[in-house]
Amino acid sequence: MANAPHGGVLKDLVLRDLPIRSELLEEAKTIPELILTERQLCDLELITNGGFSPLEGFMTEKDYTSVLENLRLEDGTLFSIPINLDVSSSDVESLGIKPGTRIALRDPRDDAALAIITVEDIYTPDKVKEAIKAFGADDSAHPAVAYLHNKVKDHYIGGKLQAIQPPTHFDYVALRFTPAELRAHFKKLAWRKVVAFQTRNPMHRAHRELTVRAARKRFANVLIHP
């Protein structure tokens, strides 16, 4: 693959932190812990496997504000959606969350320790502003806006992650590739150009036509990315 990862470097935190995995596992037993929501679990997986490169953790307030205002991280890298770890006031109090606190982040399905976050800051978002800036309107008919107002907790914590292990999956195992695995797969197949279509539901005819035309125009292979 000739294209560089977004941001220049693929941030595979699981691979990076593999040499200290046992130490992180032991530390996770002794520090405050946070059970993730399903949404947070998905975000964590994409941060730690490099899907959200160049992020190495959940966004600090500076990055969050820059993304909302400029569609870029503070360093200027294009990034259009805030990636946040939300916590409640009771979480902040009970876990003693403050800058420098290390918290074990656990899988809500099996309680496995997946990563440790070192808190850099705690901030309270303006959810109306976030809805307008990120989704175009503060309209609860939009599923993401409804989730923001009804499910997301009152505070965000930002900070870098150290990965312990990826979440365990039992469905579609043969179709789950990390970014690094996909790049290796493309290389094995000698795919030099790839047109990717990211879909949240089965493709309809217009989606198919758009993807096929793009692939033909660029003489590329096709990746369907659900």
- Residue 65 sits at the vertex; the CA angle it makes with 62 and 69, to the nearest 5 degrees, is 135
Identify whether 199 is a catalytic site residue: yes
Report the share of the chain in percent with pLDDT over 70. 99
β-strands 57-58, 194-198: how paired? unpaired
The tens digit of pLDDT for each residue in 4-14 reads 899 999 999 99
Which of 199, 208, 213, 216 is the catalytic position? 199
- For residues 143 and 187, what is the distance between their CA atoms, to the nearest angstrom? 37
pLDDT band at 3 (very low <50, low <70, confident <90, very high): confident
What is the tens place of the pLDDT at every residue in 113-150? 999 999 999 999 999 999 999 999 999 999 999 999 99
The answer on pLDDT for 42 being more than 60 is yes
Q: Which residue out of 30, 150, 200, 205 is catalytically annotated?
A: 200
pTM: 0.93
**Has residue 1 got a pLDDT over 80?**
no
pLDDT digits (tens, 9 = 90+) for 66-105: 999 999 999 999 999 999 999 999 999 999 999 999 999 9
Catalytic residue among 3, 30, 150, 201: 201
Q: Is residue 200 flagged as an active site residue?
A: yes
2 pLDDT band (50/70/90 cuts)?
low
Is 221 a residue of the active site? no
